[in-house]
Structures are given as C-alpha cells and as structure tokens.
Amino acid sequence: KSGVLRTFTRIDRDELCPTSDSCVIKIDVAVQPVEYFRILRVFVTVLDINDNPPVFPKPQVMIEILESLSSGSFIPIPMASDLDSPHNKNNNAVIKPSEKHPIKNPFKLQLVNKQISDKHTDARLVLTSSLDRERISSYRMVIVASSQRNAVLTATIEIVINLIDVNDNNPIFERMSYQTSILENTPVGSFLIRVQAHDEDSGLNGEVTYEFSSLTAGSHGNIFHLNSTTGEIRNKQVLDYEKSNSYYLTIVAQDRGPDPSPVTVTVSIFIEDENDNAPEISIVTISSQVGVGEIVENSAPATFVAQVSVTDKDNNGNNKKFDCSLRYADSDPLMSIDSDTGIIKAVVSFDRELISEINFLVIVSDGGSKPRSSTARARLVITDLNDEKPIFDRNEYSFEISENEPIKSIIGSVLAVDRDSGINAVVHYEIVSNHITHLGPDDSGIFLNFPFFEIDKNTGSISTSQVLDREAISMHRFIVMAIDGCVLSAKSSTASVRVKVLDVNDNAPTFDVFSSFVNKTYQVGGLLGH
C-alpha cells in the first residue's frame, strides 16, 4: 500500500544476466482499485558485485611444442572465466614458477589488449629464448588469475609445456676410440668389445644403430660381426696371430630419425700371441750336407761344430726364449750347445780311429707358459788327420820259391793297414833298394844291389823279376815299405822279407879231375882214392 518495491528472494545478477554487460529487470506494477487502475513499468537495474572467483576450465593444461620453436613465438593458453560483470571480472593474471619445477622458464605471460574476456585465447605465453629439449625437456608454471577489486578471489592453473624432440643432435660415442686385446685361437662367436654411442634426442631421433664402414665391411666383414643394435663385436673366425696381429675397424653410428648425420669411431683389435707354434730348427754347418757337421780329429776342445738357428712364428717375448740341449744315443756328452747363440762346440778332442761319427738330437724348447719343443737329427763326422802310419800284419815275411821259375812268378804278398781314412788310408808298397841281401849256397853273404824281385805297389804282391838260381843264391833278404797316400805328410813303415830258393835237380853230377900215384908194388885191391 505504500508503493515500496522489495525483493522477495536473493537476487543473483550473474544468474539473471549471465551474458549481458548490464542487468535490468522489467517489472509491470498494477495500480488498483479499478477506478484507479493502470499499469506502471518499473525498470530495476541489478548492480553487480564482485562475488564470483575466476574459474579455469581445468586445474592443469599440458601443451606440446617443438624444441625448435623460435624465440618470440606465441603459445595460446586458456584463461579463467568469471561470472561477474566485466567491471568486476578478473582482469589481472601473473605467471609464477611451479613448486614442482622451480626453475626459471623462458616464457612470459601476455594478455590480449590488457583485457579479460570469456575466451580462453585471451592469454598467451611468449617464448623469450631458444629451447633445448636435451637440456630441459619440460617446463611447469602456474598462472594466477585475480580481480583487481578483490584480490582474495583468485584461480590458478598449472601449465605443463613438454618439448617435442627434433633431430638436432648427432650420436656421440662414449670414447674417442676403442681398443681391446684378445688371445689368438679365441673361439668363434666370442665377445670382443662393445661400442656405444648416445644421442640426446628422443624417440627414433635418439635410437642409435651401428654398422661397419663400407671399407671395413669389405676387408673384415668376413672376420668380425657387429650387432647393429647393441654395438657388440664378435669374431666370425678363429684369429691367428701369425696371419695378422692387429685389426682396425671403422664403426659408423647414426640415429633413426630423418636426415641422420653419421659419426664414426675406430676400433683397434690387437691379437695376443699364444704359444701355438713349435720352434723350427735349422742346423748350419761347414759341411755341404744338411744337418751334418764336420770336425778334424785331434782338434782342441771348444772347436766349432755347428750353429743351430731357431725360428718361432709365435712372437711373445717368452715364446722366443729358447732352451737348447743335445741328446746322444749311446755316449757321454761330447759336445755343448749355447742356448743364446745356438753354437755347438766340442768338449773333447776326438780320435777318428776310435769314433768316426756321432749321431745326436738337437732339442729346442721355447719359453711359453706351456712350452713347445722340436727336435732335429744331426750327425757329426770326424774327419781324418794323417796321424796313423801303415802297420804290416807281421814284422817279417818268409816265402819259398823253387829255382828256375819264370819271371813274374808270385812268391807271396805283404799287407799293411792304415787306420786313417780316405787318401790317408791308401797304402802303397815298395822295395827299399838299398836293403837287399843275397846269400850264397854256403850262406856266405853276397851284397848285390840287384833287383831280383818286384812288388805291386797297390796290392803288395811280390813276384820275381829274374830267374832264380839256388846254386848261385839260395836266400834273399830285403825290406818292403808301406807308405800312406797323404801328399803333404805321408807316413810309412817297413817289414823284412826272406825268400828261400828251393833246389830243383837241374845239374848233372860232375867229377873232379882225379889222379893218384901208387907204387908198382901196390897190392891188388888196395884203395887208390875217392
């Protein structure tokens, strides 16, 4: 009745006019009684108060951007909405570090036209510096929206920016170069070494694969295997130090991203010698025969005999240290060998007439942890020195021959032996002409230097050179000499020979002239003479 207009319930402008900048309520008021009836239109303007906080659509937003995004680029972000009128809406926002990621980030917050609207793109982040995903892969920050009229009413949203990798890094090997040492004869398929490269990119851009360079694949691809994923290198063959003691492999690494940039590294594989080869023996002598040494008899001890040359395909220091020794079949040590020089020397003075040659073994062992040894057969020949003279088998020879035998009749032979060898043992015979004695029938000596006999210089056979007459000379004595064949220093010996001439009935009886004188009165039958 008073005409006062009052609210019946609480009025919320943000519900009545959620989309209008101004909020006016039209009310038609009827005036009664009838006689005064009329309609009055009343406009009630509902004034906004800042009673609503800002509201973000979600508490967290994750955004992905390329790490190659250039400085100054914009990144739209959602902004909080506010049911209040524009006059009271949030028109202020700040960017703060996240407590979970309190690092300085390269973004600044920019509000479009310095005004806040209902649209989520009214705010954006501006990149202020370049990005490097390999250094920092993500950023976290908090956007705080508030009203300038009521700072108590605020809203926050966490912005998480993840950087998308681009292939901007090459693989990097862990080492500038790799090397390893393995024993020869290592079984096929053994692990030798592993190369490893890292790429700070992610995904395919960071996945590294390995392969041999084309040159290495052509020269060593049949010897080594490279795992393209792990970088492990294994041997496809048994390695032999004696064939090659080192290998140099070029490994190529590249990522699986677009436009990869290959990098290379060298792997050095050194083969360590194993004692898998026995020593090889060569015997050097002054003789023309292989493995046969010579020494002149009566040479002084320590005279050179031969030199042993040893080679070993192994190359390890200990494997090339050799121990040399000699072994004899059935005699005491007669020679010595120096393991350092391989020189074999006599330890005694040899007498060829007692021992003419020595068979022996040369034994060589290397110095490996599991020594290997070899043997070589050798022979030492003691060469002759003319130190022996011919010796007759008797001091005096006695022969008989009948008289009147024809010239060249053999009466016997003499024999002398020289214990030397070769030319030194060749014996020649001769009759010493100034030692001939002839005896007459009455054993009276007749000294005639007249050759009745001759001797074959090679065989020692003695034959007549004259017809012998017992009645003239019944006994012959002479000296034979045996001379060896040494030209420079011949040695000789002698023996005596006695030849008895046997009688044959080659003469008729003869009377001496006989005369006798008797008296004329000599008795009959008396002896006149004989």
HEC states along 418-457?
CCCCHHHHCEEEEEEEEEEEEECCCCCEECCCCCCEEECC
- Structure tokens belonging to residue 521: 């009165």
CATH architecture of 60-164: Sandwich (2.60)
Helix, strand, coil distribution of the chain in percent, nearest 5: 5, 40, 50
Look at the block and give the residue holding tokens 């501006």.
Answer: 126
Q: Are 197 and 175 in contact (CB under 8 A)?
A: no
- In this prediction, residue 467 carries a pLDDT of 93
- Structure tokens belonging to residue 243: 């064939």
- Would 172-272 and 391-502 be classified into the same CATH topology? yes
Contact partners, residue 59, CB within 8 Å, separation at least 6: 156, 157, 158
Phi-psi region of 529 (alpha: psi -120 to 50; beta: other; left: phi over 0): left
The CATH label, of 1.25.40.10, 2.40.50.140, 1.10.260.40, 2.60.40.60, for the domain at 172-272 is 2.60.40.60
Distance CA 214, CA 337 (A): 54
Dihedral angle, C-alpha 327, 328, 331, 335, nearest 10 °: -60
- In this prediction, residue 118 carries a pLDDT of 46
Largest CA distance in the chain: 270
pLDDT class of 221 with cuts at 50, 70, 90:
very high
Does the pLDDT at position 150 exceed 70? Answer: no
Q: Which of 61-70, 317-326, 440-449 has the highest mean pLDDT?
A: 61-70
Mean pLDDT score, 458-473: 92
Q: Are 468 and 504 in contact (CB under 8 A)?
A: no
Domain ranges (residues) in the chain: 13-45, 60-164, 172-272, 280-383, 391-502
Task: Find, among 266, 242, 255, 263, the residue nearest to 193 by Cα.
Answer: 266
Mean pLDDT score, 1-23: 76
Mean pLDDT score, 50-65: 84
Of the given ranges (3-12, 127-136, 255-264, 320-329), which has the lowest mean pLDDT? 3-12
Helix ranges (H only) for 270-311 are none
- In this prediction, residue 494 carries a pLDDT of 95
Does the pLDDT at position 102 exceed 90? Answer: no
Distance CA 257, CA 279 (A): 56
- Of 517 and 208, which is predicted with more confidence? 208
The CATH label, of 2.60.40.60, 1.10.10.10, 2.160.10.10, 3.40.1440.10, for the domain at 391-502 is 2.60.40.60
Distance CA 420, CA 386 (A): 6
Neighbours of 173 (CB within 10 A): 20
3-state DSSP assignment of residue 51? coil
Say which CATH class 280-383 falls into.
Answer: mainly beta
Q: Are 498 and 479 in contact (CB under 8 A)?
A: no
Distance CA 310, CA 327 (A): 17
Q: Are 344 and 293 in contact (CB under 8 A)?
A: yes
What average pLDDT is seen over the chain? 85
User: What is the CA angle 303-309-311, rounded to 5?
Assistant: 165
Does the pLDDT at position 472 exceed 70? Answer: yes
Does the pLDDT at position 117 exceed 50? Answer: no
Neighbours of 85 (CB within 10 A): 20
